[in-house]
Structure 1
Amino acid sequence: MRVRRLVFGLILLTLCVSASNSLWAWGKGHRLIRLWAVARLPEWQTELIGQENLARLCRDYTSLQDKHAGGKAPQLDPYCLVPGVRLSLHDVNPPMQSATAIQWYLEQIANNLQAGKTDEAMKFLGVLCHWNEDPGCPSAHSSPVSELQLKTLIPPPKDKARLNYLFGAGGFMDSGDYQLADEKYTPRLLGRTRSEAALRIYEHQKLLRHHAAAHIIPIVQDTMQGDGTKADEHRAAAALANGRHTADVIFTAICLATDHSEDQEFLFEGQPLTDWLPDFRGRMIPHPYYVKPFLVNQAMDAKRRLHPLKIGATEYETGYGMGTPFELDFVLAPGNVFSRFTCDVGLHPTAGKKGAVQFAVVANGKELVRTKPVRVGDAPVKLDIPLPQADVLKLTLQTIAGEGSEPSHNLAVWGTPTLKAK
């Protein structure tokens, strides 16, 4: 009987799909994503929240901030205005504002669920989900270039010149006929505390935006020159990535609100730094890493041939190949979740005999460690560094060319860089 009720509830949710008035990002996509995510919640959460409340989360509370935009619905102020924080509930915001606001939403969800106000909790959860879904749409919320730049790179044919590329009004980013793949997915606990959860929700929101941006040009190309089939495939792929993240957000919010965080599997005790998106906006350094100063999980030799990451005979699955001089930044908010940073550093075996590199780790402008000059053939230098605690932590990996070294021989490797929780 319980299974039949769950199946009936999911069918009821599926019938809730309808049009949306979102202009810049997902329209119908919000409901498709939300339905997909809710259908993957564990049974104990489905029973706790109740089918009718979950139906409202997927039907009535998908776009509260859209209705609130421009002060048109002051009755939604309690859900859409975060005390003391100015931010957009559609975009990736600066670290401090994001960390504060995400923790506030998690607190409101918990307070209302614990007070038996499940419908109120779903309104706050609906706003939090929408905020995380918008950057995952291939649209103005995720594009690294403007509408004008896109239309310069991919001019529309005359009969399609009226269409917008990035904006929903007169546009096509959330049009077509697509569905999220019906795959199995187990939602992940993103944190055992609100600060842990906020850190990963913010980071995954940035990764989602990065992922969505990669779908923009294929969608534009197929819409302008093709039959729309490939465009729908890319919309579906972007929405599926969004569905997984939304499932994680809902699952985590309910776990934290009901003190179930300690009895769930937690996969993020120690995280490869390569899981995080660096704060890099482009610059050039000497050859061979002159255009892209670093590579993820691989290295490059002086002739720009690719190699696995290695220091001496030791090979690494994760890490960075890097040139000199260079600084690679990572911004963590909240900055009090991780307590240590570990890594092996050294030169790749293909580095020349004139290579000499110092490796430094910097946190919020303060140098935590700097190695002596490392040369080809030297054993890996093992770093194990305590991290300072801060509201926002800017962690920087720095390579410094040794005196008299040759840039094309300075083939630096950061092996298995890892952030470790308290």
Structure 2
Amino acid sequence: MSSAQKESIGFCGLGAMGQGMATNLLRHGYNVKGFDVYPPSLARFKAAGGIPASSLADSAAGSTYYVCMVATAVQAQSALFDGESAIVPALPRGATLFLCSTVPATYAQSVQADLDRLGRSDILFIDCPVSGGAARAAAGTLSIMAGGSPAALEKGHAILAAMAAETKLYIVEGGAGQGSNMKMVHQVLAGIQILAASEAMGLAARMGLDPRKVRDKVLGSEGWSWMFENRVERMLVEDFYPGVSALTIILKDVGIITQMARVYQYPTPLTSVAEQVYLQGLSQGFGPQDDAGMVRMYYPQPLSQMTATLSGEDEEIQLSKIVRMLAGIHLCAATEAIAFAKHVRLPLGQFYELANDAAGGSAMFRQAGADMIKALEGDEAVLDKPQRYCLGEVVGHMLQVNEEAAKLKCPVYLASAALNLLLLAQQGGRDKCADASVIRLWKQ
């Protein structure tokens, strides 16, 4: 065992993700002392070979590295700084602190400021939110977006590499806060595309389509997204209890986006719509349940019990509408995410690579997103050369979807918002421009 492996790691937040991250570090040979307020989580950690701590301060004492994986900025602030048992006062000099929670960039920056204010500038701080789910956390193949000082990133690299897949560790330039900004703009895609999957499957059910045929049609099409492929399997069997990916988590993430959008006074129209629909789901009692259960906001009966009524040519026509609906929403999601990424000064090439390899990936982001980035970086001529559809065709597709939904009395919050954005982008004789030219709305 190397000297690095003999060093100890403190850990707080042993929930679904944190438990996997901590046990993965154990497998890498580190001594991990973990704390959680939920006793069964501590018991599972102990059974896996970890050292259970009696308090936050106990978990931090003597720890060369410390990983904070709690759910919110409020929880992080309390754990790190508040009370006699706080983490920061108990850390040894020269320790490295990893904040892996999804928090606003402004909060990540405030942690660094609080360390300096309290005379603990000896602590090296890394703002490093993670993505990938519980299974990848346990396997050590998370996507990690890390920002911090060069010294902190150098000191913490081995720990970050132990938690991330070899090609999914993204060092984001700009210091503390930029890791959180990268996660935030990724969640623009995730937050919209999770709800888009429910919206599409709900409308499809009202159309009389077999939900399994919808799944098969979308997979491999321009309407594909990682979130659709992942969430639809749980929709088909009503696997919502307890939530694998709780509604409250994605609601928290989209809340960070809209909060920061207000700070920057920057438009995030589809994310804002998604947040309102998620809040409706919360009011229905869906909060602790899986976010795939949002399909019930569109079609309240179990998909597995619906009777398909379409076949032949009619079925193919309606299946194509669902694909085009998803493609139109994902196109606007890509626009919103890429434009916001540029606004917060993230490297667009790095964001493109990360999102394509993470849960925010979609066929439209991969295709149209590349052209959007070229345009934002100076090659605007690419927006005048349709590679897939011209803008007028996309508008036509989305008009058909919205008319169909109105006829069926089915709410399509995202498809309606996407149509309005596309209509705005179409103004000024831009019907024949590329679908990616919707990015011009944000350039203007």
> Under a length normalisation based on structure 2, what TM-score does the superposition of the two structures give?
0.31
Higher relative contact order (CA 8 A, sep 6+): 1
Structure with more of its chain in helix, by fraction: 2
> Under a length normalisation based on structure 1, what TM-score does the superposition of the two structures give?
0.32
Structure with more of its chain in strand, by fraction: 1
